[in-house]
Amino acid sequence: MAAPEHPHDEHPGGAVAVTGPELPPDRRARAVRAYHALPAEDRREAVGLARQGRRHPDERVAAVAWWYAAAVLQPRWYNRVPVVVLPLVALALEVVAFAVDAWPVALLGLVTLLVGAGLAWQRASTTPLLRLMRPADTPE
């Protein structure tokens, strides 16, 4: 069964979460390793060009970057949650923590905020890559 080229999940309010095709764990691991094997300059250039809606001129770099984005943005619940949800949960936890004077709840709110920031950064850097045209499947 072939996955759609650009799967999207609609959220209430019109927000769209971009997710990649379902990939087996070994394929995801290879895509991440291949991306991190690229020189940092190529990675930065691929993301920068993708934010402008353009592919990297080197097709190998463009393909590696796209497969990395597909591996990172798997269709999982945490990739479908709107980016604003975790900061709102963190804020609610902080309010509760100060209201009941419970430092563990405040710490949980801080951890939730940091996780939310990490997920937002990950999406911001990989979604533009995934929105570009899917490269031809490369032989394993």
Residue reference for tokens 């995801």: 28
**Rounded mean pLDDT of the chain?**
84
Q: How many CA atoms lie within 13 A of 56 on its CB side?
A: 23
pLDDT at residue 76, rounded to an integer:
82
Q: Which of 39, 41, 45, 47 is nearest to 66 (CA)?
A: 47
pLDDT of residue 5: 45
Please tell me the predicted confidence (pLDDT) of residue 137: 61
Greater confidence (119 vs 17) lies with 119
- Using CA atoms, how far apart are residues 125 and 59, in angstroms rounded to an integer? 19
pLDDT confidence band for 130 (50 / 70 / 90)? confident
Q: What percent of the chain has pLDDT over 70?
A: 84
Amino acid 139: pLDDT: 41
- Would the pTM of this model clear 0.75, i.e. be above it? no
* pLDDT tens for each residue of 33-90: 999 999 999 999 999 999 999 999 999 999 999 999 999 888 887 778 888 999 999 9
